[in-house]
Amino acid sequence: MKRAVFPGSFDPITNGHYDIIERGLKLFDEIILAIGVNADKKYMFSLEQRQQFIEDAFKGEPKIKVKTYEGLTVDFCIKENADFILRGLRNPADFEFEKAIAHTNRKLQKIETVFLLTSSGKSYISSSIVRDVIRNNGDYTLLVPDAVRV
């Protein structure tokens, strides 16, 4: 079984994330959407809300599992018997950042990182932009799956 972990804070999940996950389903038998827990980070949405958004967005999709984790992503991959990490790239800055993480992960464990380019119509979307739109009472609904309603 080809199992991938797609890690992130998903604060909240965006249409950009959704695009990568949906396309990743064609490549993998199972994708674990792994919500990282970082006690030092301040989130807009609680862990429970973020998990619910994702579960609702992928309701009825048996190839998607939603889990939370703390610590290194590669350790979580080993625990979950996943040989791949799935990541999305929006721009060259994402590539440089993600490349360094992928090399580090590969050094720590025999985990391959698979990069997918975000579809051009969604490459501008980030969780931080969505949070800013929400904070300023803008229409964020075009940037997130229908499951994300606040």
Residues belonging to the active site? 17, 41, 90, 127
d(CA 24, CA 98): 17
The CA-to-CA distance between both ends of the chain, in Å, stands at 36
CB 13 within 8 A of CB 44: no
Contact status, residue 77 vs residue 30, Cβ threshold 8 Å: no
Calpha distance 82→80 (Å, rounded): 5
Structure-derived torsion over alpha carbons of residues 68, 70, 73, 76, reported in degrees to the nearest 10 = -70
| CA distances (Å), origin 124, targets 29, 113, 119 | 28, 22, 10
